[in-house]
Structure 1
Amino acid sequence: MKIAIISVSDKGQELALSLKEKLDADSTIIKTDLYHKNVKKYFPVLFYEYDAVIAIMASGILIRSIAPLIESKVSDPAVLNIDDNGNFVISTLSGHLGGANKLTQKVAGLIGATPVITTSTDVNNKLGIDVIAKDLYLSIDKPEEILFFNKAILEGEEISFTINPNKNFEYLLGYLNKVTLEIDVSFDYSSEVSEDEILVHFDDHRLVLKERKIVAGIGCRREKEYEKIHEGLIKSINDLGISESRINMLASAEIKKDEQGILKLSEKLGIPVSFVDMDRLKLFESTDVAKSDFVYSKFGIYGVCEPSALITAGFDSELIYKKTSYDGVTIAIAISK
């Protein structure tokens, strides 16, 4: 998640600096940029350039600033509102698909504030269909149906999921068993449903949840043991709250194609691995990729795990887990558009 923090007062700016330091230590936060004052100038840019905007200011200023920019729950960024004293963190916009509700809980925990969340499913301890999509990195083909499904869930109606019997959907079953919010579901199996899709239906209403490709990029020291690489991967996906079965591919650089630890990991997990051509890595450019002069001095490329993951995930993909080191292993995770 790419986050912009904007403040208007000196006290708010101090809080912004402190919050940025805490967020930067989180591997699921790709970058955090600070803005101060000039609200009218900055908001039209922040709204389209970041996944989330944290506004440390009076709610009136925030609401008037974002009102002309709001378009859709599918595309609008998460927006949080914090008072200058850091007493309350309010999920203001895009609570589910944008991730504002979860980010509100995270930020409130970091600064010792009270989280304020008002979405109906959350306050009634129910699991929204859009929360499932967000948590499991699934796209929704008919966002206009979300309200209908969430209304049915609030009323305690049973929601049916149809999945392909040949695909491992352990990540979905495990998620629904583990989650603390309430939802009544039943499962059907049909080979007519694509392996990367989940058909959700209630009465005459249907929507399709489709997997966005998740790629785990791996870098490691020469002859690094499979167990250590696996341990690093587990720590990373635990941070994201996903299971191994939700990963679609592994990726690394061509120079790692003989690394037995990576090959064994691919075999053990049953997940294919792509070894990206060195020329493609040399030409790859992204402002989100961390550059290592050490790696460049050895291999002529600035990184392995982040660019490998992004290239394999496809055009316009983005990082959801920045390069993180685990005892000689580096992990980054990217997702397709």
Structure 2
Amino acid sequence: MNIVRPESIAVFCLTPGGLRLAKRLKQHLPLTCYCSEKLLEDGFTAFSGTFAATVAQAFATHTALVVIGATGLTVRVIAPLLKDKLTDPAIVVIDEQGQHVISLLSGHVGGANELTRYLAGILGADPVITTATDVNQLAALDTLAVQLDADMHNFRQAVKVVNQMLVSDQRVGLFWDHDSLPESDDRWQTERYDTRGFVAVNSLADLPSDLSALICVSVREKLPDLAIPVFKLVPRRIVAGIGCRRETSFRLLISLLQQQLAKYEFDPLALRAIGSVVLKEDEPALKHLSDCCRVPFEIYSVNELRQHEHLFPSSDFVRQTIGVGSVSQPVAWLMSDGHLVGDTLKQQGVTITLGVSH
């Protein structure tokens, strides 16, 4: 999923009026602003060749593109670049008078709708948003997924089905499976999320009789069978600290990680990151594991781990080899702010400790 980051917004100015608007926006956001050589001023970057060529480059490197110019021109320029609404950057268009800010592409997952509202607020402009859920003042499943940093199986189809239900006045339940998390203070702060249009469900054993479907926010691998369609939205909350011998095989690592996740009944989609000590940053199996699971590989120095190693059993062999008595437990401790889950797996020279991040 593509989520707009303020430091990754490219703005394209085609006229002097566009430059003036961009200067106003730069007072509020860290923007990369492009313009032609003829309009070039301090703080702006010249187009790399043509406007279209520069847009094509930015399309691959920025999470959001803002064009201060005509909608039609923008559509023609970006049309050959479009790939997938789950990965394309947000595209927003602003007229050079600053009267309208238009969410053109990737409104939900890409964050264009949210960016449009923000930019319109800065300029005192009219935000133009046409996605059906927003027009009807409803939440959307893909927006909720972004807010939760969550994923789900068959995400694209689920979003299509659920959002269509919402705009068709069907009743879609929303259940927060707090019990799937190990500790009470790990629970989701539900008031932080946009749930307009969803029907709050407090218990799976007592569902409203008129629901057409149910969204279940859970990190649990399996849910009970219910009589209505259930879409499980899985927040990425689980982290794994991993220690291993040099040249450990990828097949062993992924097998043991899956084993540890299954032991505590976590859905594999709940994995947010793996981590290890700095001496393992180039370990092929760990890098492959990170790529395969599509999660970051976080690295910690020996000094960082030493600050917490007294909390855990130590190995003289590990200390002599690495410089600290344990790896997986202090790594998981740091990744989760001390919210560890269960026991550490120790098999065939591999240690894995799970935690819950916030």
Q: Identify the TM-score tier after normalising by the shorter chain.
A: 0.5 to 0.7
Over 3 Å counting, the alpha-carbon distance change for 1:101 and 1:88 in structure 2 is same
Q: Does 1:114 align with 2:121?
A: no
Aligned to 2:26: 20
Q: Following the alignment from structure 1 to structure 2, what is the Cα–Cα distance between the partners of residues 165 and 207?
A: 17
The question of whether the paired residues in 2 share the 8 Å contact of 1:76 and 1:94 is answered with: yes
Within-5 A mapping of 1:90-105: 90-105=102-117
Q: Following the alignment from structure 2 to structure 1, what is the Cα–Cα distance between the partners of residues 140 and 109?
A: 10
Q: Does 1:195 align with 2:195?
A: no
SS of equivalent residue, structure 1 residue 184: strand
Over 3 Å counting, the alpha-carbon distance change for 1:188 and 1:123 in structure 2 is same
Q: Following the alignment from structure 2 to structure 1, what is the Cα–Cα distance between the partners of residues 223 and 11?
A: 37
What amino acid maps onto 1:81 in structure 2?
Answer: V
Deviation by residue 1:59-95 (Cα, 9 ceiling, x = unmatched): 1110001111111111011110000011110011111
Q: Following the alignment from structure 1 to structure 2, what is the Cα–Cα distance between the partners of residues 113 and 159?
A: 35
The question of whether the paired residues in 2 share the 8 Å contact of 1:162 and 1:198 is answered with: no
What amino acid maps onto 1:130 in structure 2?
Answer: D
Larger radius of gyration between Structure 1 and Structure 2: 2
Structure with bigger RCO (C-alpha 8 Å, 6+ apart): 1
TM-score (norm 2): 0.53
Give unmatched runs, 5+ long, in structure 1.
25-31, 216-247, 255-273, 281-307, 314-334
Q: 1:62 aligns with which of 63, 74, 77?
A: 74
Q: Give the count of matched residue pairs.
A: 223
Over 3 Å counting, the alpha-carbon distance change for 1:82 and 1:150 in structure 2 is same
SS of equivalent residue, structure 2 residue 197: coil
Residue 203 of structure 1, CA deviation: 7.5
The question of whether the paired residues in 1 share the 8 Å contact of 2:180 and 2:218 is answered with: no
Aligned to 2:177: 163
Aligned to 1:6: 12
Over 3 Å counting, the alpha-carbon distance change for 1:87 and 1:187 in structure 2 is same
The question of whether the paired residues in 1 share the 8 Å contact of 2:178 and 2:188 is answered with: no
Q: Following the alignment from structure 2 to structure 1, what is the Cα–Cα distance between the partners of residues 52 and 142?
A: 31
Percent identity of the aligned residues? 30
The question of whether the paired residues in 2 share the 8 Å contact of 1:40 and 1:65 is answered with: yes
Q: Does 1:33 align with 2:16?
A: no
Give unmatched runs, 5+ long, in structure 2.
37-49, 206-216, 240-271, 279-297, 305-330, 337-356
Aligned to 1:153: 166
SS of equivalent residue, structure 1 residue 90: strand
Over 3 Å counting, the alpha-carbon distance change for 1:162 and 1:15 in structure 2 is closer
The question of whether the paired residues in 2 share the 8 Å contact of 1:7 and 1:13 is answered with: yes
Residue 165 of structure 1, CA deviation: 1.6
SS of equivalent residue, structure 2 residue 88: coil
Q: Following the alignment from structure 1 to structure 2, what is the Cα–Cα distance between the partners of residues 104 and 278?
A: 44
Residue 36 of structure 1, CA deviation: 1.3
What amino acid maps onto 2:201 in structure 1?
Answer: S
Residue 140 of structure 1, CA deviation: 3.7
What amino acid maps onto 1:94 in structure 2?
Answer: S
Aligned CA RMSD, in angstroms, stands at: 4.0
Q: Does 1:126 align with 2:138?
A: yes
Q: Following the alignment from structure 1 to structure 2, what is the Cα–Cα distance between the partners of residues 200 and 34?
A: 51
Q: 1:53 aligns with which of 57, 62, 65?
A: 65
Within-5 A mapping of 1:298-317: none
The question of whether the paired residues in 2 share the 8 Å contact of 1:51 and 1:78 is answered with: yes
Q: Following the alignment from structure 2 to structure 1, what is the Cα–Cα distance between the partners of residues 228 and 84?
A: 24
Q: Following the alignment from structure 2 to structure 1, what is the Cα–Cα distance between the partners of residues 144 and 222?
A: 11
Q: Following the alignment from structure 2 to structure 1, what is the Cα–Cα distance between the partners of residues 227 and 204?
A: 18
Residue 126 of structure 1, CA deviation: 1.2
TM-score (norm 1): 0.56
Deviation by residue 1:72-124 (Cα, 9 ceiling, x = unmatched): 11101111000001111001111111111111111111111111111100111
Deviation by residue 1:264-316 (Cα, 9 ceiling, x = unmatched): xxxxxxxxxx9942689xxxxxxxxxxxxxxxxxxxxxxxxxxx9xx959xxx
